[in-house]
Amino acid sequence: MIINLKEVNKENWFEVTKLQISEENGKRFIVPVVYSLAESKFQTHMFPLAIYADETLVGFTMYGKDPEDNNYWIYVFMIDKRHQSKGLGKASLQRLINYICNKHRVNKIVISHKPDNLKAARLYETVGFINTGQIIWEEIVKEYCES
């Protein structure tokens, strides 16, 4: 299976808005994808991408260079509830890291998660994110640094 990241555009935006998070994650992450798409139109440093496994839409992500700290952040990362527990989260996150590092020629990426979201914490750590000890927006901050 090949993971592809595609720009959210007029051909796929509506399908992307239909992605759903699991009930468990819904308790932590309540912003719908459509909100992120709208936000990206006004916060022009944010880039929304659709995540595909082969030709099947499986998730959504949004990243960007934060204007306050100049770091590249992954603001949103989600795999649709119908495609979870298939290894797509790890493969997609690894693909996203490579994409950001190569496209923007950076070696540091930042992500955060709610303290009780242990699945996200484990996923982020399995691809190389480490805890910074910082808490921002009541979320644990992790960094990925490529050597």
Domain residues for 40?
Answer: 3-145
pLDDT string in tens for the chain (147-residue length): 899 999 999 999 999 999 988 766 555 556 789 999 999 999 999 999 999 999 999 999 999 999 999 999 999 999 999 998 899 999 999 999 999 999 999 999 999 999 988 889 999 999 999 999 999 989 999 999 976
Q: How far apart are CA 45 and CA 121, in angstroms?
A: 25
Q: How many folded domains does the chain comprise? A: 1
* Whole-model pTM over 0.95: no
106: CATH: 3.40.630.30
